[in-house]
Amino acid sequence: MSPLHFVVSHNPPAEVRDVATALSDLDMDRFVAIYRTIDPEEYGVPLDDGGGLEYLTSNLADVTAFYLRAAEAGWVTPFVVDQ
pLDDT by residue, tens only, the chain of 83 residues: 778 888 889 999 999 999 999 999 999 999 999 988 999 899 888 887 667 888 899 999 999 999 999 999 999 998 877 76
Task: Report the pLDDT value the prediction gives residue 12, as an integer from 0 to 100.
Answer: 96
Q: Residue 7: what are its φ and ψ, rounded to 5°?
A: -110, 125
Determine the structural domain holding residue 62 and report its residue range: 7-82
Q: What is the pLDDT of residue 49?
A: 67
**Residue 78 within any structural domain of the chain:** yes
Q: Is residue 2 part of a domain?
A: no
What is the rounded CA–CA span in Å between residue 59 and residue 70?
A: 16
Residue 80, strand partner residues: 9
Contact (CB, 8 A) for 17 and 74: no
Determine the pLDDT at residue 52. Answer: 82
DSSP assignment letter at 47: -
What is the per-residue pLDDT for 6? Answer: 83
| Number of domains forming the structure of the chain | 1
Q: What is the pTM of this model?
A: 0.78
State phi, psi for 46 to the nearest 5 degrees: -65, 140
Give the three-state DSSP class for 8. Answer: strand
